[in-house]
Amino acid sequence: MNAHLDLNLEQLEPYFKFETGHSQTLIGHFVPTPDFVEDFEVRYVTFSDGDQSALKIYRNKNANHKNIVLSVYHGLAGDHRSDYMQRAARVAYDLGWSVVLVDHRGAGLAEGRAKLPYHSGRGDDASDILQFLKLEFPNCIQVANGYSMSGSILLNLLTRRKGTCQPDYAIVVNAPIDLHQASMGLARGMSRLYDIRFYQKLRQDLKKNHQFEIPLNGYTYNVDDIFTSVKSGYKNKEDYYEQCSTYKYIESIQTPTFILTAQDDPFVLFERYQNLKWPSCVHVTYSKFGGHMGYFSKKNLVLNSIDFKKRWMDLYLYQVFRKIEENISY
């Protein structure tokens, strides 16, 4: 492992005495997050098929501004308003970075601007967005930060399977690296609650923006099978999962990358991460607790006079951002 990527990271002390991945996931999601409020502009990236993604761009003009741009990519059924997007933006902006909150094709500010769905394998979309940002912010370091499904998107780019334009650094959080395993995990036990939420949001989107009707009740993998896979050029969900899962290709990553996942994630199962041979340019953090992007601490977390409340993931991001700054000046 590259010594220049090492983090001096305090372990997460979970909020509840008897912790589960579900409690971490739920409390992390439902505890309110302050909105990230700064001046912004909206730009659109048009892909070769005519679909568009939306970029909410916050150009940092503060006295401490740096030539670093963080682009943040949301998970399934999310958009730029998602709580983890807002918090990542605040941490980076306060360090002097410019921030770009990305709405995937057809999502958020790009609603109604896409005929095809975004999905876990769209590394080529991320590549086009990064190419746009390199022109928009010349001579700046590009850092890409993907959550959950977007972690998979970035890994498809980083493993050089989809797209060509690489970021200078990448941060991947709770990424499903085995899509079949993750989709089946969503359908089991208490995780079915998340699956119902995803399914209903996808159902609304398909009806409103694609004039595509699916049954009132179903599973997310049903959407993958009858819509996402077929509309994206795959034979079925199994073909889509096989071609867009990244666990077999991790060793091909050459970009300095920070990976975070939790051993108690209720549906991105930790077993698939174990025994992988990560290249030296990748720093991997396996948190014992955290659920799916929850990472909610028992105690308030303060570092360098910055109060991260109980948001351990925000503290993690801050330390990663500072490590990237150190590497740039190294």
Listed by start position, the domains of the chain span: 13-177+251-329
d(CA 148, CA 25): 12
What digits encode the pLDDT tens for the residues 164-205? 999 999 999 999 999 999 999 999 999 999 999 999 999 999
- How high is the pLDDT of residue 9? 77
The whole-number pLDDT of residue 93 equals 98
* Residue 212 near residue 225, CB atoms below 8 Å: no
Predicted local distance difference test score (pLDDT) of residue 3? 44
Alpha helices by DSSP H, 65-148? 83-94, 123-136
Burial class (CB in 10 A: 0-12, 13-18, 19+), 75: buried
Q: 261 pairs with which residues across the strands?
A: 286
Q: 242-252 pLDDT, tens per residue?
A: 999 999 999 99
Does domain 13-177+251-329 match CATH 3.40.50.1820? yes
Q: List Cβ neighbours of 25 (8 Å cut-off, separation of 6 or more).
A: 194, 265, 266, 291, 292, 293, 294
Task: Extract the residue ranges of the chain whose pLDDT is less than 70.
Answer: 1-6, 18, 330
CA distance 273 to 182: 12
